[in-house]
Amino acid sequence: MKSKLRTEIFVMIAIAVIAAFFLNGQTGLTLQGNAQEKANTFSTEYFIYAGAAEILEVNIEPTEEEIRAAMNAWKNPGSIVMADVRDSVNVRLEPSENSEKVGKLYKDCGGYIIEYTDEWTKIASGELVGWVRNDYLMFGNEAEAEAESVGSLQATVVADSLRVRKEASTESGIYGLVARGEVYEIIEEAGEWVVIDFEDFNGYVNSNYVEIAFHIDTGETMEQIEEREAAERAAAREANRIQLYETYVSSDISEVQLLGALIQCEAGNQPYEGKVAVGAVVMNRVRSGAYPDTIYGVISASGQFSPAGNGALNRRLQNGVSESCLQAAQETINGYSNVGDATHFRRVGAHEGIEIGGHVFW
């Protein structure tokens, strides 16, 4: 019984401590990837704990070790971390600047703690496993807020074929079909239905036939980087024949058509300014240094643009791209941007930024 009550108290401690820090203008962690905790006296922590015990009307006095354990939960294996970099940070085989480089963790990418030390943290980020200096990582509340900002809830199709309906009803019209393994960003969950972003329309799919998971972008191993760069070089050599996800599309595909197809998938039902804005996001990434430096590389990067991963982009290229989307692509390739240096966009309401049509850009 005491053990159960002690567990309940720990939960209340965590909530109370976080609330106390916010009231004092602190979060318990310093910003900019510094993993050192802000100074907090044991007496403050003790009174918070004692207050929780009093609410439960029990007489359990915590040990200092128990309080410290609750306070340091953000360091535990499995806790989330996010990159705190402008471009990327090297991931090492061992916790040393002289150790072999095993991959890179990019801006907006994250992972989970395997082992934490005062100067280095061993993380898992997709297939990448290795050590990163703590100066280049966000932890705790800061990491969770960043993940919420740049991550997304995604639905993976687990049926051989699944209808995407226009409304939450089996009697509703159909936008199209999606296949097993295809991944779509979730707009909302509505009971037995999941609303997905289907070529920029709100499409409804039965929740029994999708797996739902929160997605954050991950780093790349050196092998993955080499494979991606080789694919980019091959695409550059064969400018009129671009290969996407093991499927060759029709010949004479130019960068304008490739970008135009993505614009139509992501913003086909948006005003022209919204189409231009999506194209500008891609080109801003190409020029930023934090992403691949080609249109193909940016669009095909893992987890970045769902139409490239779920087959919608290939289908659009095969079926033709609208003139307005081609025009928007050409305009942004020529250097125009109506969203400044924004490198992200979502549905309106998901983030603060420049709102154009149904999307917000930041």
Q: Are residues 263 and 337 in the same domain?
A: yes
CB 316: neighbour CB atoms within 10 A? Answer: 24
Length of the chain: 362
Q: Are residues 286 and 355 in the same domain?
A: yes
Ranges of H-type helices in 86-221: 140-150
In-domain check, residue 106: no
Instruction: Answer whether residue 104 is part of any domain.
Output: no
Whether residue 301 sits in one domain with residue 266: yes
Question: Both tokens of residue 284?
Answer: 């801003």
Query: What are 211-244's pLDDT values in tens digits?
Result: 999 888 899 999 998 988 887 777 666 544 444 4
Q: In what order do the strands lie in the sheet with 152-157?
A: 174-179, 161-165, 201-206, 193-198, 183-190, 152-157, 210-215
**Where is the domain boundary, 19, 41, 71?**
71
C-alpha distance from residue 193 to each of 30, 133, 168, 249 (Å): 41, 43, 6, 33
- For residue 89, being part of any structural domain is answered with no
Give the separation between CA 166 and CA 274, rounded to whole angstroms.
22
Among 71, 90, 114, the domain-final residue is: 71
Residue bearing the bigger pLDDT, 54 or 183: 183
Nearest to 109 by CA among 84, 134, 135: 84
Q: For 248-264, what is each residue's pLDDT tens digit?
A: 344 456 899 999 999 99
CATH number, domain of 196, equals 2.30.30.40
| Predicted model pTM | 0.59
CATH number at 325 reads: 1.10.10.2520
Question: For position 39, what pLDDT does the model report?
Answer: 34
State how far the Cα of 338 lies from the Cα of 59, in Å rounded to an integer: 63
> What three-state secondary structure class fits 320?
coil
Looking at the fold, whether 272 and 178 belong to one and the same domain comes out as: no
**Alpha carbon distances (Å) from 177 to 97, 102, 330:** 50, 40, 30
Co-location of 268 and 323 in the same domain: yes
CA angle 269/277/350 to nearest 5° reads 75
**356 and 242 fall within a common domain:** yes
Question: With DSSP H G I counted as helix, E B as strand and the rest as coil, what are the percentages for the chain, rounded to 5?
Answer: 40, 25, 35
The total number of structural domains that make up the chain: 3
> What pLDDT sits at residue 282?
96
Q: Name the residue range of residue 190's domain.
A: 152-215
Which pairs with CB-CB distance under 8 Å and at least 24 residues apart come from 203-206?
203/164, 203/165, 203/166, 203/175, 203/176, 204/164, 204/165, 204/166, 204/167, 204/168, 204/169, 204/172, 205/155, 205/157, 205/162, 205/163, 205/164, 205/165, 205/178, 206/162
Q: State the Cα–Cα distance between residues 90 and 101, nearest whole angstrom.
A: 6
Least confident window among 13-27, 144-158, 325-339 = 13-27
Q: Is the pLDDT assigned to residue 70 strictly greater than 80?
A: no
d(CA 160, CA 158): 7
Going from the C-alpha of 114 to that of each of 73, 95, 100, 124, 145, the distances in angstroms are 13, 13, 18, 7, 20
**Inside any domain, residue 66:** yes
Which of 49, 71, 93 corresponds to the end of one domain? 71
Q: Is residue 286 part of a domain?
A: yes
Q: Does residue 61 surpass a pLDDT of 80?
A: no
User: Does one domain contain both 207 and 265?
Assistant: no
E strands present in 252-294: none
Instruction: Specify whether 306 is located in the same domain as 249.
Output: yes
Same domain? 211 vs 280: no
Pairing mode of beta strands 174-179, 128-133 = unpaired
Provide CB contacts within 8 A for 351, sequence distance 6+.
149, 344, 360, 362
- What value does the mean pLDDT take over residues 89-116? 95
What is the distance in angstroms between the CA of the first residue and the CA of the last residue of the chain? 51
Residues 202 and 264 in one domain: no
Q: How far apart are CA 120 and CA 313, in angstroms?
A: 40
Per-residue pLDDT band for 26 (boundaries 50, 70, 90) equals very low
